Amino acid sequence: MVQLDSVVPDFSVAATGGDFKLSEQRGKAIVLYFYPKDNTPGCTTEGSEFAAATPQFDAAHAVIAGVSRDSLKSHEGFKARMNFPFELISDPDEKLCEMFGVIKMKNMYGKQVHGVERSTFVIDRAGVLRKQWRGVKVPNHVAQVLTFVQSLA
C-alpha cells in the first residue's frame, strides 16, 4: 500500500480517455478520488463538485481523476451524462483500490459488503503522495482538496 510522503509507483489503468498512466502526469499535481459507484447520489454530487471546481484545479496545474470498480462502459455513460471534464478510471480488478488501501468491509442495509471507502489522494508534481482523506463526507470536501492543491504551487 502506498504510504504518505513516498513516491507512488507508476501505474497504467483503463480510463474514459484511454489509458491513464501516472508517469505521463509528472509535472502536475494529481487528485485521485475513489468513489463507490457510478450514478449514485453521493458519487454524482462529489463528481459534480469536482467538475465545477475543475477550472481552479487547472489553474493550480492539477489533474483530477475519479476511480471506481465500475466498467469502462458504465464510466463512459456516467461521464457523458454528467459532462465531467476529467477522466474516470475503471478498476474492476481492484489493483488501484488495493494500492491505495480503499477496499473495506462496509454496512449496506444491515449487511456487510466488500466495497470502496470514499477517499481522495493528492500526488505532487514529483509523484509523491502528499495528502489523503479517508472515509470522506462529500459536503465541503472538494474545497478542502482544492485548498491543499493550491498550497502545493
Residues 18-47: what's their mean pLDDT?
95
- Out of 43, 116, 129, 136, pick the active-site residue: 43
**Residue 14 forms part of a structural domain:** no
**Residue 130 forms part of a structural domain:** yes
Instruction: Please tell me whether the overall predicted TM-score, pTM, comes out greater than 0.75 for this model.
Output: yes
**Residue 8 forms part of a structural domain:** no
Residues 48-60: what's their mean pLDDT?
98
Q: Into how many domains does the chain fold?
A: 1
Domain holding 48, by residue range, is 28-152
Residues 96-114: what's their mean pLDDT?
87
- Look at 152 and 109; give whichever has higher pLDDT: 152
CATH number for the domain including 144? 3.40.30.10
Active site residue 97: no
Contacts of 65 (CB under 8 A, 6+ apart): 15, 20, 30, 31, 32, 33, 86, 87, 88, 89
Residue 12 has pLDDT above 90, yes or no: yes
